[in-house]
Amino acid sequence: MTRAAEIAKIIGKGSVDIHGEAGTTSSGSTGKTTNLQQGLCKVWADYPGAATSITDSFNVASITDTATGVSTINFTNSMRAIAYSCTNGNQLAASSGTGIFYANVFGRATSSCGASHFENGSNTDPTVYSAQITGDLA
């Protein structure tokens, strides 16, 4: 389809087909996704600090609570290589708010990565973890 035809389609219908890396088409209401396209988040999760359950996620098979303030995010679909970008954050309890805090990502593997929270000198379970990963799926 030509560029002019695509523009006319957008104006006429208000939507456009998006072609991902594997030729997958997304046209809004069809239910198809563009999750194979580069630049999109491939894994994300929101879960309690003790990793007892997953509040919401995408491409996450499970989360393992490995120690206080430390968990492993296990992917449903593996990443192509360990050279992917990870972001880990957390929400602290309302009573927290002083001292030194940081969230860390470690132990990257193609099928999982570790996440930890450090607060005032030791690993601590935050109220909520959040993590997202971008890169290429296998």
HSE-CB at 11 with a 13 A cutoff on CA atoms is 6
| pLDDT tens sequence across 12-50 | 665 555 554 444 444 444 444 444 456 678 999 998 877
HSE-CB at 55 with a 13 A cutoff on CA atoms is 12
Q: Give pLDDT, residue 39.
A: 62
Per-residue pLDDT, averaged over 87-115, amounts to: 77
Tell me: pLDDT of 102 over 90. Answer: no
What lies within 8 Å, CB to CB, of 53 at 6+ separation is 47
Q: Give pLDDT, residue 38.
A: 60
Q: At 102, which amino acid appears?
A: Y
Q: Give pLDDT, residue 19.
A: 53
Q: Give pLDDT, residue 74.
A: 94
| Model confidence band, residue 98 (pLDDT cutoffs 50, 70, 90) | low
Q: At 33, which amino acid appears?
A: T
Name which residue leads in pLDDT, 39 or 115: 115
Most confident of 14-18, 109-113, 119-123: 109-113
Task: Tokens 């805090």: give the residue.
Answer: 101
DSSP string across 72-133:
EEEESS-BSSS--EEEEEEE--TT--SS-EEEEEE---SSEEEEEEEETTEE---SEEEEEE
Q: What is the pTM of this model?
A: 0.68
For the chain, the 3-state helix, strand and coil shares in percent, each to the nearest 5, are 10, 45, 50
Which residues on neighbouring strands pair with residue 26, listed in sequence order? 18
